[in-house]
Structure 1
């Protein structure tokens, strides 16, 4: 420890007690007694500044000096001289740690140069986390109270409304802002049209088909999906709330706040929550008893009778919705796309076969189904036919795996040779080392030359930026090398998978599905115009990276031992 910074602060000058001068002297005496006389002291004083904020001139100067690494330790009389805010104090300690600067508080004997002192950092962090969680809980409670009062608490503005910021003065003379939703007449007319059309057609499925067929889109130019239409048709924000609406909501386990006035609408709250699962954030529905609606200051638009008729139609449809058999046995769900419109194809149940007595299954284009053949006319694919084509193609490629993999390995090795990485990394590393030495020399000069501080700091920033660029280049080269080695390793994995493909027709459905998932990216279906129900498929394999993907066409009929035409930027046709 060579250079010690002493920081002292007092909210206002009183001329008595723990004055700035007394704090400094006590700090010097404590450090001298403990570490000896061969120390350089730098003093930073903030008088007349509160500890509730870090926005203090000398404190900011202190942190700037610490960042240049010319201070070995920061000493203060008491912890609250740094900050009275636990979170700010914890963040300050974290910054000191980043720059290897010890922290010592003489009153509490808080010294991070010792193991016990460093442990105190983590204790402070725990209190900071507690404070953050307490604030978050308080904000959540306030939001719920606002919700119970019918206030719009934010989120995506529903179709039919626009948001507007309102300012007013509260009883304490403070200016407050809040968001108010107002009716967009043109959009709201469309919402009313959806309510009436749903009743006319009788189901969400038919309404979705009508919307798709007529290419009616949202304000963002996106086609309406069933889920979006359902939210619009069941949202109480549109209805002029009356006692009948309240009774309906109560009967469906909603807690209702406020008295219905046949003018204003209800806002719904607390229906979903965000959870972290399987490495990503997802929304899930909360328990029914946690959700509630509150009468808002937003004017309703849909008449109660119309809104209730729509809800009752939903209830009737729910009771008679057909419970079809599960289709988890389909091999190509999530992989099969329509060759005409590039939309996913979904499994559709057919009639029982009079010959086998089993139910037939088809893959049907989702856009064709929704638009009633207006936007896509691709023929349906018989599930057993197209799955057989794909399985046979995997079997054939399994038989030709050696030639294919040899070409793949040659390409990988060629890519590896093209990367003259060793020489480039040595050159970049040498340049990086030189620039770091320049930074160290400038930092040394900076500690003795305060008159040219700004010039030196600008030069240091420029050199640090150049160092960052060089480090990024080195990292990219190393990543590319790793990727090439991984690709080489992948070839061995693919070989074992293709060996399995040779006997794919003897494997179970689960094993076949796993092979399809691991080897195939997408399958495109092109239905035939004749009555045979046959067609052809194009398969895109998951091999190497995107630039190395492989496609080939499979014609109508059985494959037999035909030649498969592989299309790749670097791999020629193989048998």
Structure 2
């Protein structure tokens, strides 16, 4: 109905009491649509309630059958052959702590997934984390005790989860210092700089940012290969702290005001263009209405009616064209309006950074950078920080 209304088309039903050409007809249609929507939502709620009840009782709700089980009368029954594969996956993972090794070993033995394809580490990871193999049912983000037979013991499943938890902590401990990841770029070749580390013979770990172009031997060697991570982080923080000084804030304020002034001028021009187009559109609609009224109120020969209809079609085409032009200008206006910057917001963010930088953790600093900084170019001569909300670099 919304589509019909947008195109100024009315709806009359021959079988039902629907007629949108009258106020009462429109009201009746809206009431009918409301009740139809209510019925759909109530049906959906009842289905959800049934599924939730079944899950609480430990019953399988259907869907893709978990590998290792057969579905018999909506119940999960262990599959004799697939059960052995599941147990193999858990046992080997606990020994090797590697999903890749488990996948490769299983494939070399001849194990295949349900589609007859080779296993990969993502499928192995999914199985190792699925509570169904512990005899539980997962539904709507919650886990309930199931009535089906588990394929692994509690201790086996928990050992696998412990390994994943340890690996997660280890990954975070390695990557947490990569504060500039995602915003740091090489000024030499414009490639991103990615955090990396190497372990020295004495056991010390050296952390650094590496230009990703050096990872591809086919590309031309970049001059900015590596930068000490700690030094780069400190340099960027120092640059940002300098931005929060009174002198720099005044410069930023001037930059923002100049940028906003230019954008507002462009917005006024677009608005003027929209108003002009709307005026022409109103004129076209008025002319079209006059021709339509003449068809209704007067008698014409066939040739005259054909000419009038041709003129109406011409106005209809023009109407669509001008509506399209107006929508295009409105879209451009919205996009341009979103580029306006708030001086107070920028000041607030920089002052917040200055006051809290010492107490913020690395992840919080990384989040702040991704919100406020467009990119940071690094070279042997230093770093250049470009902000998102204003054309200003330091």
- Contact conserved, 1:110 with 1:120, CA < 8 A, in 2? no
- 1:503–1:358: structure 2 CA closer, same or farther, 3 Å change rule? farther
Q: Which residue of 1 aligns with 2:234?
A: 388
Give the alignment of 1:21-40 within 5 angstroms.
Answer: none
> Retained in 2: the 8 A contact 1:368–1:377?
no
Structure 1 residues 123 and 402: CA distance shift in structure 2, 3 A: same
Deviation of the 1:344 alpha carbon: 1.9
Does the alignment pair 1:513 with 2:383? Answer: no
Q: Write the deviation string for residues 75-126 of structure 1: whole angstroms up to 9, x where unpaired.
A: xxxxxxxxxxxxxxxx9x9759962333131xxx544527565555678899
Alpha-carbon distance in 2 for matches of 1:542, 1:124 = 47
Specify which of 303, 306, 318 is matched with residue 451 of structure 1.
306
How far apart, CA to CA, are the structure 1 residues paired with 2:280 and 2:249? 46
Residues 439 and 463 of structure 1 are in contact (CA less than 8 Å); yes or no, is this contact kept in structure 2?
no
Q: TM-score, normalised by structure 2?
A: 0.55
In structure 2, the gaps of 5 or more residues are: 20-24, 44-63, 65-99, 131-166
Q: Which residue is 1:10 aligned to?
A: none
TM-score by length of 1: 0.40
Give the structure 2 partner of residue 498 of structure 1. Answer: 350
2:198 alignment partner, SS class = strand
Residue of 433, 447, 457 corresponding to 2:282: 433
Whether the 8 Å contact between 1:347 and 1:363 is mirrored in structure 2 is yes
Whether contact under 8 Å (2:199, 2:205) holds in the other structure is yes
Q: 1:351 to 1:117 in 2, by over 3 A?
A: closer
**Deviation (angstroms), 1:433:** 1.8
Q: Cα RMSD (Å) of the superposition?
A: 4.7
Cα pair 2:186 2:192 within 8 Å, conserved: yes
- Rounded Cα–Cα distance in structure 1 between residues aligned with 2:259 and 2:3: 49
Per-residue deviation, 1:551:
3.2
Aligned to 1:472: 327
Q: CA deviation at 1:460?
A: 2.3
For 2:191, which of 343, 366, 385 is the aligned residue? 343
Is this contact kept in 2: 1:398–1:500, CA < 8 A? no
Query: Match for residue 59 of structure 2?
Result: none
Name the CA distance, whole Å, in 1 between partners of 2:32 and 2:126: 39
Q: In the aligned structure 1, how far is the partner of 2:331 from the partner of 2:264?
A: 14
Q: How many residues align?
A: 279
**282, 296, 316: which one pairs with 1:461?**
316
DSSP 3-state at the match of 1:360: strand
Render the CA deviation track for 1:441-492: whole Å, top value 9, x for unaligned.
2333455664336513431233213431552365257437734xx624x222
Q: Is the 8 A contact 1:428 1:474 kept in 2?
A: no
In 2, the alpha carbon distance for the partners of 1:96 and 1:477 equals: 24
- The structure-2 alpha-carbon separation of the partners of 1:287 and 1:478, relative to structure 1 and needing over 3 Å to count, comes to same
Query: Structure 2 CA distance, aligned partners of 1:358 and 1:247?
Result: 38
| 1:341–1:248 Cα change, 3 Å | farther
Instruction: Work out the CA distance in 2 between the residues paired with 1:326 and 1:384.
Output: 13
Is contact 2:267–2:333 with CA below 8 Å preserved after alignment?
A: no
Instruction: Name the residue aligned to 2:13.
Output: 103
| 2:385 paired residue among 499, 524, 539 | 539
Mapped to 2, the partners of 1:428 and 1:419 lie a distance apart of 15
Structure 1 pair 419–398 and aligned structure 2 pair: CA distance change class (3 A): same
Q: Distance in 2 between matches of 1:353 and 1:390?
A: 30
Q: Counterparts of 2:334 and 2:319 in 1: how far apart (Å)?
A: 22
Q: Is the 8 A contact 1:394 1:504 kept in 2?
A: no
Q: Name the CA distance, whole Å, in 1 between partners of 2:329 and 2:320.
A: 14
**Superposed CA offset, 1:225-267 (max 9, x none):** xxxxx9xxx99xxxxxxxxx99845x25x1256xxxxxxxx79
Residue 401 to residue 420, structure 1, CA distance change in 2 (3 Å): same
Counterpart of 2:393 in 1: which secondary structure? strand
Higher RCO (C-alpha under 8 Å, 6+ residues apart)? 2
Higher share of residues assigned helix: 2
